[in-house]
Amino acid sequence: MGATGGIADFDALRRAMAENSEEPEGPARNARAEQLLAEAEKLNIPLAVVEALGHQLKVYNYSSEKDKMFVPFARLLRLWDERPGDFDEYETHSLYWVFKWMSAGMLDQPHIPLASIEKWLGEMEHRYRLAGHSERAVRSAEFSVAAHVGDFPRAERAYAAWLAADRDRMADCHACELHGQGGWQLRNGRDAEALELWRPVLEGEYSCAHEPHTVLASSLVPLLRLGRTDEARAHHLRGFRLVRPMESMRGAYADHVEFCALTGNEARGLELLAERPAYFTDAGQPRSRMDFLAVVTLLMDRLTGLGLGEQRVPGPAGRAWSAAELAGHARAEALELAARFDARNGTSYVGDRVRERMDQRPLADQLPLGVRAARTAPAGPLAPVVRAPAQEPPSLSELLAEARRLSDTLQPHALEAWAAVAEAVEGTEVDAYVRAEVADHTAMGRGPEGAELFEHAAELYARAGDEGEAIAARARAAYVRALAGEVDVATAAIGEPYDRILALYADEATGVRQTASVLMSRARILMRRVHERSEGALEAEQAVRELLALVGGRGGSDVRLVSRAAEGRAMLAELAEHAGDGERAAELFRQASAQFVGAELPWFAVEYEVRVAALAHEQGDMAEAERALRAALEHGGPHVEAVGRAQLHLQLAEVLGGRGAAEEAAEHALQAAHWADEAGESATLGAWARHQLGGLLLRQGRFAEAAEVLESALADLSAETHGDGAVVQTQWWLGDCLSELGEHHAAAERRLQAAEIARHWPEQHDHATLAHLAAESLGNAGLAAEADRAYARAGELWRAMGNVHFLVRSLRARAWLALRTEAGTAGARRLMTAAVTECESALTGLRDAAARERLTGELGHTHRQFGDLLARSVPEDAQDAAIQDAFEAALAETTAAIAVFAGLGADGLHSRTGAELAAGWLEADLSRPADAAARARAVLDAYRDADPEDDTVRARRAEARQLLEPAQA
């Protein structure tokens, strides 16, 4: 700062502008740019004003205040016309570059007449021609104007001219050009062609400040339309992470809200709106505000259509909004803006497209995303059922026939059918048998609370003259008492029905169905005693075998009897498992499952396949566990409750992940998270599923998606519910993701948080590793002092555990950091010397050959890094003598590394030759060409008989020949 308290000189101004450029987009950064322009004007340096105006224009362009950029540009253009000599080469290039921003910016402002925009295009073309630039950027700008107003013939001509013109320094980057070209394919209904054009951007071949951000957003709807939902999900998670911190990207943000509205993720769409309240009202770029309000309308209409019109939703500040209210408000605002554009353009094209966007229909009922999102449950059916006038509600006889059919064939919705019968008979006169059936099936739906109703059903059956069913109902009453924990009462109660049914059956006074029902109730009661008290196994087995003797071979087409036989086999399986015979238990469960599947009752097989999977897991037979879990999912289909589906998918994900099938495992973890959310278990089972999913995505290198999922998991994971190990692992994985994404400061925070939890564990390896990783992230974030402290902490832990390798690595890392801190070269030398000493001390007396070889390699690498550090520590302004001394010291350390690696024989060959070449270059820098050549020949000799296709061999030979060139000249 100068004496006036402002910017002291041009260098200070440039530093301040560079710092401001790194700040988040938004009004605060813009205001700072305005202050810096005022400071620049005080310096009385024309170029300072030019650069400050350029900086101001740039921050306006990348913000919600785009409408402000026209003023600094007009001033820059006037300065250029008056005194072009005040512009250096970079600012001259920048001036012409932002001509394109002006074209796009004018289109975004409906108050700027179309004639003015056309005049500007002519001005741009004229100036570009005079400056010798290609017309590629001009034709691109013309295409944008024509496409915006809906003049398709002109747009096609400009598009062709754009692509035909030469690329030069004024052309947009490849990524931005491909985005625009793909967008044109999209407008013409060519989704696949658009995605193919965007592929190089999506795959990372081309990128820039705003790409692949916008391409990822633009790809969402076409991917959905093409049915490529997995890619759409991935692009949403990856793309939204890029867009979220960038205030200027309201249009791309709107694409993500639209995606949520079209995929049954309305709840996530509301979360996105809540993150950006200013987007409702920021007026600096009307076109992106119109796009945003259009998708807000789409989302709110979707909620209203689901019966949630009265739900509170995020909206413009100053009042509370319901979905229905915001739908009307956003629609009116979007259409008013569209009308202004159409009035300016003289067409209806913008309004037509906005209406089309607002009125889209969902493209998926619900696309699971992996991140937590509550299901937006409809208040009623999506579309009310309208009966034809002549169609009457089903009669009682029809309802009764359907209920009997469903229960006789053991279909999943039988109890609902009987509930409809119960409602129909209420207040009417029906015979005792029907009332008995209604009471019987109502009791079945009450579980342990159904005993008294079963007794009532028994009385009604007896009154109707069906003593066999009356006895079976009493047996069911006894069984549900066992379910309620009254095993002794149930055991006593089943005796009399059991004796009576056998007597009736012997006299042919009742059928096998009723008899089997009573025998099954008795077997179930006795099995409860085994499970709860570990007693009576022999009596239970006898009861089961008596049941099987009765129904064995009698089933045929009677699925009830087949069901009894299958359940009996499952009971024998449970008894075998109770006795410790896991193999026999698994085989019997498989037989029970097969019987149910054979009877076309696969949903009953699910439980038994799950039991097989658990037994296989215990026995280490993961292939069988996988088969059984797949079978359970296949057999259960839509009949398994949401929480059961979540558990099955999660178990299968863990098995698949264990055998390395990370991609398929991730699909199942995704489904597990989805079904956990559906079941209302987001904070428990859902968090665990997201934890697993994030780890599996990380293993596939899908770092942005994994980070989104893991952050979502952390919102619910807790040490109390999931264990602190799960919390630490999630933080750890998230830190790895953030590190790969270049978000080093955030990665350090996650790793430090995980290390703090692990600090309290008895085993300290994880604590040390996390501290070490956190130090690495801090260093990459430019926080050298903080990184040094973290490495020192890790080093203390490694020393305490006797882990010399990582102790040495922490010392080496600290040495490199010292060059960036006050410790300087002297501190770096001390730390690297300490690393050498630690290695040498640990080698003393070490007898284990393998451990000695590994540690010898660590010593060699330490000497090698010591040499590199010394060579690179020489200041740019150092005197020749200081440079000579540093290089001599570096050569000594590198020579020591060569000797150590040589002692490792073939295992140290590549490390030795790498060090030999480094020493050769040092010899050359020290003006010793003969010594440098000797080292190069030593490398070539070392690889005389090596595989010429080996990449390392080829690279070392090439470098050695390069080192020899001066000696051969």
Question: pLDDT tens for residues 459-500?
Answer: 999 999 999 999 999 999 999 999 999 999 999 999 999 999
Q: CA 339 from chain center: how many Å?
A: 39
pLDDT of residue 375: 58
Q: Tell me how far CA of residue 172 lies from CA of 103, 139, 713, in angstroms.
A: 13, 12, 40
Three-state SS for 208? strand
Per the CB < 8 A criterion, the answer to whether 744 and 707 are in contact is no
The first and second tokens of residue 95, run together, are 């001036």
- Give Cβ neighbours of residue 435 (< 8 Å, ≥ 6 apart): 425, 460
Three-state SS for 204? coil
Per the CB < 8 A criterion, the answer to whether 855 and 839 are in contact is yes
pLDDT of residue 390: 46
Nearest partner of 219 among 199, 242, 248, judged by Cα: 199
Using CA atoms, how far apart are residues 614 and 4, in angstroms rounded to an integer?
77
Quick one: how many helices (H) and strands (E) in the chain?
A: 47, 2
The first and second tokens of residue 752, run together, are 């430090």
pLDDT of residue 969: 56
Bridge partners, residue 313, by sequence: 321
Using CA atoms, how far apart are residues 59 and 55, in angstroms rounded to an integer?
6
Helix axes of 929-942 and 951-968: crossing angle, nearest 10 degrees: 150
How would you write 123-169 as a 3-class SS string?
HHHHHHHHHCCCCHHHHHHHHHHHHHHCCHHHHHHHHHHHHHCCCCC
Q: Mean pLDDT score of the chain, rounded to an integer? A: 92
Per the CB < 8 A criterion, the answer to whether 494 and 482 are in contact is no
**What ranges in 484-536 are assigned the alpha helix state H?**
487-506, 512-533
Give percent above pLDDT 90 in the chain. Answer: 87
- pLDDT band per the 50, 70, 90 thresholds, residue 381: very low
Residue 334 pLDDT > 60: yes
Question: pLDDT tens for residues 3-34?
Answer: 335 788 899 999 999 999 989 888 899 999 99
The arithmetic mean of pLDDT across residues 406-412, rounded, is 91
Nearest partner of 891 among 914, 861, 912, 921, judged by Cα: 921
Bridge partners, residue 321, by sequence: 313
Nearest partner of 440 among 448, 451, 431, 429, judged by Cα: 451
Q: Tell me how far CA of residue 79 lies from CA of 38, 47, 74, in angstroms.
A: 16, 10, 9
Run of H or E residues at 205: none
Three-state SS for 959? helix
Using CA atoms, how far apart are residues 281 and 276, in angstroms rounded to an integer?
10
Lowest mean per-residue pLDDT among 94-98, 380-384, 427-431, 880-884: 380-384
Model's pTM, two decimal places? 0.85
Run of H or E residues at 312: strand 312-313
Q: Is 331 exposed, middle or buried (0-12, 13-18, 19+ CB in 10 A)?
A: buried
Q: What one-character DSSP code corresponds to residue 686?
A: I
Residue owning tokens 């689901």: 306
pLDDT of residue 297: 98
Three-state SS for 716? coil
Instruction: Please tell me the number of Cα atoms within 13 Å of 5 on its side-chain side.
Output: 1
Residue 944 pLDDT > 60: yes
Run of H or E residues at 293: helix 286-305
Question: pLDDT tens for residues 804-854?
Answer: 999 999 999 999 999 998 889 999 999 999 999 999 999 998 889 999 999
Residue owning tokens 């990128």: 207
Bridge partners, residue 312, by sequence: 322
Residue 754 pLDDT > 50: yes
Question: pLDDT tens for residues 64-121?
Answer: 888 888 899 999 999 999 999 999 999 999 999 988 888 888 899 999 999 999 999 9
pLDDT of residue 846: 87
Nearest partner of 779 among 770, 790, 768, judged by Cα: 790
Q: What single-letter amino acid sits at 96?
A: Y
Question: pLDDT tens for residues 545-580?
Answer: 999 999 987 656 789 999 999 999 999 999 999 999
Residue 931 pLDDT > 80: yes
Using CA atoms, how far apart are residues 942 and 913, in angstroms rounded to an integer?
8
- Biggest CA–CA distance in the chain, Å, is 119
Run of H or E residues at 321: strand 321-322
pLDDT of residue 386: 35
Q: What single-letter amino acid sits at 713?
A: A
Three-state SS for 747? helix
- Give Cβ neighbours of residue 214 (< 8 Å, ≥ 6 apart): 179, 249, 251, 252
- pLDDT band per the 50, 70, 90 thresholds, residue 198: very high
The arithmetic mean of pLDDT across residues 140-169, rounded, is 95
